[in-house]
Amino acid sequence: DTRSIHETSLIVILKLLEKEPDNGIYLDIFRNILIEMEKLLVLDSPDAEKEADYNVLISMYEKLFRMVPVDLSYRTKIATLYDEKGRFLMKAGRTEDARQSYNMSLSMRDDLIKMGESPLLHEFGIASIKNNLGTLLAQEGQFGDAKTMFEESLGGYMGLFDRIPDDPAYEYGAALTLNNLAKLLADMDRHEDAKHIYESALEIYVGLLKLEPEKVSYKKHAARTLENLASLLGKMGREEDSLCMYESSRELLEEIQ
């Protein structure tokens, strides 16, 4: 099958590169095989094999980086693969392994920023990882550490937005993090604080939807925030406001369907 063909091709090209490490044609072939393996990982890799596939790709990109150490884009690719692996492990409930993978990505991204390699890209990646780590810590009941992670994530997104206000990805990331921070505060029985933060997230979604009114991801996550706020208002005894939020969430979801 395609997987075994890629594996055989890798063995052959690595042997050739051992003899001629500076051969540009062989390096191009090596890169192209890895790109095809990544596509296969996304499209066709069963969950039982995904972790092993990530490990192979990370190992191969590390080999490629050692062959061409001046090309920091390979280091960026390795950091991205560790990030993706962390998300996969987190969904699989393997929180400690996910944390280790996220921390590998964080360390690499910090180093790449210091070297001046695509700092905006890596600051964005760090903010995203810290949001995921906050979620992981909250699931483990480590509320204080989770809160710190969410706040650092939010600071990262807003710092990027202050510098580049035309890119909606930064506000969107901030809104996602605000929702998670509010949910954490609600779980800590800090209801008023949680309410204000949910409202801040919704303000961002309102602005984003004015710019792109048909964007499904904005509607989907705005609806989720409305639902979370509705649940919180119910706990606070504000039943009428809670029902209003639930209705707004339902209407947004109906627009998506």
Burial of 96 (0-12, 13-18, 19+ CB in 10 A): exposed
| Nearest partner of 50 among 37, 33, 35, judged by Cα | 37
Residues 6+ apart with CB under 8 A from 99: 86, 133, 136
Q: Mapped to the 3 state alphabet, what secondary structure does 129-155 carry?
A: HHHHHHHHHHHCCCHHHHHHHHHHHHH
Whether the pLDDT of residue 169 is over 90: the answer is: yes
- pLDDT recorded at residue 196: 99
Average pLDDT in the 115-132 region?
97
How many degrees, rounded to 5, is the angle at CA 161 between CA 145 and CA 88? 50
- pLDDT recorded at residue 202: 98
Q: Phi and psi dihedrals of 66, rounded to 5?
A: -65, -30
What band does 5 get if pLDDT is binned at 50, 70 and 90? confident
- pLDDT recorded at residue 159: 98
What band does 191 get if pLDDT is binned at 50, 70 and 90? very high
**Quick one: tokens of 215?**
């964007």
Give residue limits of the domains in the chain.
1-117, 127-257
CATH number attached to the domain at 127-257: 1.25.40.10
d(CA 183, CA 181): 5
**Quick one: tokens of 189?**
């029985």
Whether the pLDDT of residue 116 is over 90: the answer is: yes
- pLDDT recorded at residue 40: 85
- pLDDT recorded at residue 194: 98
**Quick one: tokens of 129?**
């990882």
Q: Phi and psi dihedrals of 22, rounded to 5?
A: -100, 10
- pLDDT recorded at residue 3: 78
Average pLDDT in the 151-159 region?
98
Mean pLDDT, the chain, whole residue set: 95
238: which DSSP letter?
-
d(CA 170, CA 164): 8
Q: pLDDT tens digit string along 64-96? A: 999 999 999 999 999 999 999 999 999 999 999
- pLDDT recorded at residue 43: 74
Whether the pLDDT of residue 45 is over 80: the answer is: no
- pLDDT recorded at residue 56: 92
| 32, HSE (Cβ side, Cα atoms, 13 Å) | 8
**Quick one: tokens of 142?**
């480590």
